[in-house]
Amino acid sequence: MKIIKYIIVSLIVFVIFRILFITNFWNNMEHKANDVLFLLRGEQEISDNIVIVEIGDDTFNTLNERWPFPREYHARLIENLEMAGASQIIFDIEFTERTNIDADSKLAAAIAKYDNIILSGKLISTKYNNSLREQLLSPISILTQTGTEWGTVNISADPDGFVRRYELFQKRAKEIKLSIGTIALAHHYKLDLHSEDIQNYPKFFKIGSNFIPKVTSKSALINYYGPARTFSTYDFADVIDDSTFTSNFEKELETDLDQYYQLAENFKDKIVLIGLTSVEFHDTHHTPFFSEENQLMPGVEIHANFIETVLRNNYLKEYPMILYLLFFFIVTILLFIFNSLIRPTISVFINIALGLVYIWFSYFLFSTKQIFIPILEIPILIIIVYIIGLVIQYIQTVRERKFIKQAFGQYIAPELVEELIRDPKKLEYGGVQKELTVLYSDIVDFTPYTESHTPKETVEILREYLTEMVNIITENKGTLDKFVGDEIVAIFGAPVDLEDHALYACKAAIEMRQRMDELQEKWESENRDPFEMGIGINTGVVTVGNLGSEQIFDYTAIGDNMNAGARVEGLTRDYETTNNIIISDSTFEQVKDKVEARYIDDATVKGKKIIIRIHELISIQ
C-alpha cells in the first residue's frame, strides 16, 4: 500500500510541476540557465571559412556618407571581393527600394556577372483587425531579374528578447522561402535549391547530407561560438577603398589614403557576409554571451554562427522529451520515497549533492554532446520534494509522539517516554530477543475477597492499589506490560535499554512492599478489609516488541522466562518470607552485591521439570 501512496503523490507532484514548467516565466528561467552553459564553456575555436564585412560607425566616419549608401559602393564591393576570390558573397542588406536607375543598374550589372551572390529580403507580418497579413518583401526587380537567389533574414527572439534560434525558412501560405543561411549552405554544397536535396521534415531540415535538428517547425538552435566579433570582421569602407576609389572623406582631405586591403589574403575561398552593425539600425540582438561583455550581436553575425554550426556539423539538440518526462517521473517517485524515509538532517546533504551532480551532468551533456536538457527542473524538484518530505516527516513525528505518549505515558517513566519519542523504531512491529527482568505482583486469595465484598468496594480498593503499584514501577523505569485481573506484569529493560534492570526491579518490589504496608494500615483505619500480595522476579532472555496485529498495537514480552517469573510469584504462597518477595537465582546473580537476600530453596515450579534456585528479597543495600 505504501508504494501505491508514493506513486499517487508523486503523480500529483509530477502534474503540478509539468504545468509550472510550461509557463513563459519558467521557460525564461530555463533559457537563462542555458545561457550560463555557453558562458561556462567559453569561446570556441572557429574555422576560417567565414568572414564579415561590416557597415558600422567607423564606416560612416570614413565614407562620410548617409545611409543608404550609393548602390555603386555595393557594386564596387562585389567586384573587389570577387577579385579577391571570395567563394560566396551574402548580403544581409535589403535592396528592397529603388534609388536612381543608374546606381541600381550598376549594382544589377555587378550581380549579374557572378553566380555566387545571395541577396536578402524578409517576411513582414502585420496584424490588422484581428487578422494577420503577411507579405514577402523581395529585392527590387532589376536585381531579381539577374536570376540571383535571395533569402530571408528574419530573426526571431524568445520572450525574454534573446536570440537562440535560427529561422531556416519563412512560410507564407504554401510558399516557402529559404533564409540566406540555408541558401548559403546549399550553394556551399553545390545543391539545387529545388531538388530533393533540400527537404523539410517534422524534426529535421535536410541540406544535402546534413540533417539539422529543429526545435520549432521552422527553426534550429544556434551553437554560438562566442560573443560579438568572434568572426573576423572587416570594415566596408576598407574593402571598397582601392586605388580607383576616393571617398568623400578623402576628397575633403585632398588626398588618397588608399587603405586597400590585401583582399586575396583575407577573402580568398571565404564565405563573406555583409551587414549593418551599428546599433542605430536596430539589427543588433541579445545572445547567450551578452552578459559576459554586455555587447549586442549584429544580425549578420547570427547568420555566420548558424552557417558555422552546420559546416562543422556541431548541432545543438534537445533531449527527447518523452524520455526526459519518464526520467522526471521516476526521479519524482524515488525522491519522494527517499525524503519520506530518511531523516532530513541526513537527506539535506544528499539532496544538495544530487542537485549539484545533475547540474554538472547538464553541463557535461552540453559541452561534450551538444545536448540540452532542462537544467533547473530537477534541482527545483529536489528542493520541493525535500520540503514535502520534511512536512510529511514532521506530521509523522507529531503523530508518533502523540501515539507514544498515549500508549506509554501511563505505563513507563516520562524520561523513557521521551527516549522512545527520540527513537520510535524501537516500537516497530515484530519482536527481538533481549535480556530483561520481569516482575509479577498478584493479590493473595483475591477471589474470596471479591465474593465477600460488593463490586463497588472491590473496584475502588483495587483501583487504589493498582494505581500506587504502577506509580512505583514507572518511577523505577519499569514498563507496565499488562494487568491480568488483579495481577500486575511489569518488565524492566524494554522498550528502552536499561542498565541494572534487575536492580531496578528489586528496588521497585521493595518500594511496592513498603507502600503495601502503608495501604494496609490506611484501609484498616477506614474500616476496610486489607489484602496481601506476593511478588516474583525473574531475569532472562525473552521475545519483546510490538507483538499485536496490524490493527492493534500491543507492546509486550513472551517466552519461558516470562512464564518462569509468574511461577516464581506463585511460590510466595508456599514459602514464608519477610516481604512476600521471591527472586530467581538469575536475578540474584545480577544484584547479589547490592541487595540483602536469603537463599530459600531449590524449587520445582509449576509446568517446569527443571529446578530453580529461589531467594527471598529482604532489602536494598
Q: What is residue 251's predicted lDDT score, i.e. its pLDDT?
A: 46
* DSSP-derived secondary structure for 568-616: HHHGGGTS--SSSEEEEHHHHHHHTTTEEEEEEEEEEPTT--SEEEEEE
Residue pLDDT, tens place only, 4-60: 877 888 888 889 988 988 888 888 999 999 999 999 999 999 999 999 999 999 999
Q: Which residues are within 8 A (CB) of 391 and not within 5 positions of it... i.e. 6 or more apart?
A: none
CA distance linking residue 170 with residue 151, whole number of Å: 9
Q: Which CATH architecture has domain 423-620?
A: 2-Layer Sandwich (3.30)
Please tell me whether residue 169 adopts helix, strand or coil conformation.
Answer: strand
Lowest mean pLDDT among 135-149, 193-207, 244-258, 373-387: 244-258
pLDDT, the chain, mean: 87
Which of 392-401, 478-487, 526-535 is predicted most confidently?
Answer: 526-535
pLDDT of residue 390: 84
Residue 87 is placed in which grid cell?
A: 567563394
**Mean pLDDT, residues 372-389 taken together:** 92
pLDDT top residue among 129 and 473 = 473
Question: pLDDT tier at 317 (50, 70, 90 boundaries)?
Answer: very high
Q: What is the pLDDT of residue 108?
A: 95
Report pLDDT digits (tens) over 480-505.
888 888 899 999 988 878 899 999 99
Is 482 within 8 Å of 489 (Cβ atoms)?
yes
- At residue 388 the predicted structure's pLDDT band, cuts being 50, 70 and 90, is confident
Q: Which of 46-55, 178-187, 441-450 has the lowest mean pLDDT?
A: 441-450
- What mean pLDDT comes out for the span 279-290? 91
How large a percentage of the chain has pLDDT more than 70?
88
405 or 444: which leads in pLDDT: 444
N-term to C-term CA, the chain: 55
Residue whose grid cell is 501512496: 5
How remote is the C-alpha of 290 from its chain's centroid? 28
Rounded mean pLDDT of 163-171? Answer: 95
| pLDDT given for residue 341 in this prediction | 83
